[in-house]
Structure 1
Amino acid sequence: MNFPVEKLPNIEFKKDEPLSKYTFTKTGGNADVLAFPKNRNELVGIVNTARENGIKITIIGNASNLIIKDGGIRGIVIILPNFHKISIHDNEVTAEAGATIINTTIAAQKSGLTGLEFAAGIPGSVGGAVFMNAGAYGGEIKDVFSSAEVLLPDGQIKNFNHEDMAFNYRHSIIQENGGIVISGTFRLNSGDKNKIQEEMDRLNELRRSKQPLEYPSCGSVFKRPVGHFTGPLIIKAGLQGKIIGGAQVSMKHAGFIVNINHATATDYMNLIHLIQRTIKEKFDIELQTEVRIIGEDAKL
């Protein structure tokens, strides 16, 4: 792949860059080219140049609920840490795609706005949270979502409202249309700053007590099957603590797979497939992955 980086001299590019440096699992192969645009004009320039040259685009957000396979990603990968501005107008919070959801909840609390507390400990970016309708502790992005600016594959920027997004469980229309979230706006309610902070603290303590935050992981691996909880199913199947390579089904929360010893993405994938097969055989339940899995298998 030969992305013409010379046409965009002001943008930071890294060639053959290990994506394990950017993922929460600390796994993943290399990107042909990794781009760090500083503003929307640079982002549009990358998208248009890629389209003109027939080069595939992948955006990885904060890579907290993501597995990138060991073969890496062909084409150009875009990451948006420079898109981190958060602004507040009346009861609406607008955050750029690279801002973290955690920082967005903090900004809301400081302005006395309630509704985002459920997301206080979600480690993802705003773009990723909108992309997958992230949720926790009974709340989802769709509950507070107002609108998003989206860069479409043809280079146009369009404003998407709630109805446009077609939200459902861990899904939005952005997963289908190839768009890139530039920013998201959330409509919140006025509340007491102290009570908002207390709820954020309560949920963060709950997260620390139940989730294996001390190890690299990709967050919750599987979607919750109707009528069941994934963790107890995995425990009942005798798979809690199961290790393949350097990846382990967490002893703290069986719905998580943690990197305990230099795991590879292949270790993760093999453990995921083992869990899915076992749960199907024992309980006739098909577990679907919540974690996004992208990239190419390692070449043998």
Structure 2
Amino acid sequence: MIKLFIPGLMKLFRILLLTVFCFAPVFSFAGEIELQGTYRGDNLYVRNPYADSGVGFCVFEVMVNGMTTTDEINSSSFEIDLSVYQLPIGSPIHIVIKYKEDCEPVVLNPEVVAPKASFETIDIAVEGNYLKWKTTGEIGALPYVVEQYRWNKWIQVGEVMGKGVPGKHEYEFPVRLHSGENRFRVRQAGSDNKRKLSPEVVVNNDIPEVELVSQKVEKQLVFSRPTLYEIYDIYGQIVFKGYNDTVNVEGLEKGEYYLNYDNRMSYFLKK
């Protein structure tokens, strides 16, 4: 009985093994394209070449938020229909496109799931030492860059991450006022590098101007009170920036340097 059972078992094993090989995929897994972004109501389009093996097309699976799609992908181009998932506008979305070895598909319009600078400013104001703003119409989470106009240019003074979903939102960021007229705004930039700007807010500060104690220094710059500052060499390269009432410049080479502080543009001579 044992001798008859073992050969029969081996024959059954060979049949099962052959069946597995017959139905196994004939391609090797090569890689995947991964897109993470925001649903904005648009679908994705994919150019799908033939596999180099000559068997079928390149893409063999597409997943949206962890679920395998039912889109027809066995063609030279196909659409990933995102509307079937009934996602609210502004919802996070994660797409994975798996493809075979020795070929690679191309997503033709990846920008449709990228966050877009789309906010509208309801209100923006300086209250005390805070810039506060209210917005609506956000599509995708993008940082709000807080800018202040100083030294004949807009400079970035901070960032606040946007909520990225429809609705009204409120934000705030601490700011430092210099003497005289202060101008602030916020901006966003999407993946297409298109910027969206808030209106400017202007506030006057009647405190006295910051003074530089001496324009000839050996070890320290001394201001009459703490201030934002920037120091540039004669080639326009920034060497120091910060906020304080003193700056240690002992390590700088002798010579003339450009100095921005408070709302003023000046210079000093390193002795």
> Which category of TM-score, normalised to the shorter sequence, fits these structures?
under 0.3
TM-score, normalised via structure 2 length: 0.21
Tell me which protein shows more strand as a share of its residues: 2
Tell me which protein shows more helix as a share of its residues: 1
TM-score, normalised via structure 1 length: 0.20
Q: Greater Rg, structure 1 or structure 2?
A: 2
